[in-house]
Amino acid sequence: MDNHKIIGSFELVGFPDYQMEGIVAKIDTGAFTGSLHCTKIEEGYSDGHKTLTFSPFDHPEIIIATTEYASRKVKSSNGKSQMRYFIKTTITIQKQPYQIELSLADRSEMKWPVLVGRRFLHKNDFLVDINHANDIVTK
């Protein structure tokens, strides 16, 4: 129990690879993997290599390109399965960097732009305390 890092149901996170900080993430123990809000998610070719491009959050002017990605079927909370792209990136939580795998999805209709799922929480010894004091989200 002493090795666990305590976090709340919501945390301010950052994505140094995209120079973005102060994003509210929902810590979702019901989700197996995490998800990152993106738009313009497209697979194509660049210099003869399969490449995934996307715009993180609501920043269509920023386009990220990577050749390191995967695609898998994901069952969403509404029970429907869909193919999604997954990337690995760095996330900062409580100012500490961690490697995380996230699915890319247009979450514009959702309340929170980032979900952090239980696979990541378990791997990094996080303990979620819903009473953990934070001023990120008011009740």
Are 106 and 41 a contacting pair, CB within 8 Å?
yes
Are 32 and 115 a contacting pair, CB within 8 Å?
no
Q: How many CA atoms lie within 13 A of 17 on its CB side?
A: 15
By the 10 Å C-beta count (0-12 exposed, 13-18 middle, 19+ buried), 104 is classed as buried
pLDDT at site 137: 61
Give the CA dihedral 87, 110, 121, 12, nearest 10 degrees. Answer: 100
Q: Which residue has the tokens 């140094």?
A: 16
- In the predicted structure, residue 139 carries a pLDDT above the cut 50: no
pTM above 0.85, yes or no: yes
Which residue ranges make up each domain of the chain?
Answer: 5-128
CA–CA separation, 107 and 37 (whole Å): 5
pLDDT tens digits along 62-107 = 899 999 999 999 887 778 888 999 999 999 999 999 999 999 999 8
Query: Topology of domain 5-128, per CATH?
Result: Cathepsin D, subunit A; domain 1 (2.40.70)
Single out the residue of 124, 51, 40 nearest to residue 87, CA to CA: 51
Please give the residue that has the higher pLDDT: either 135 or 53.
Answer: 53
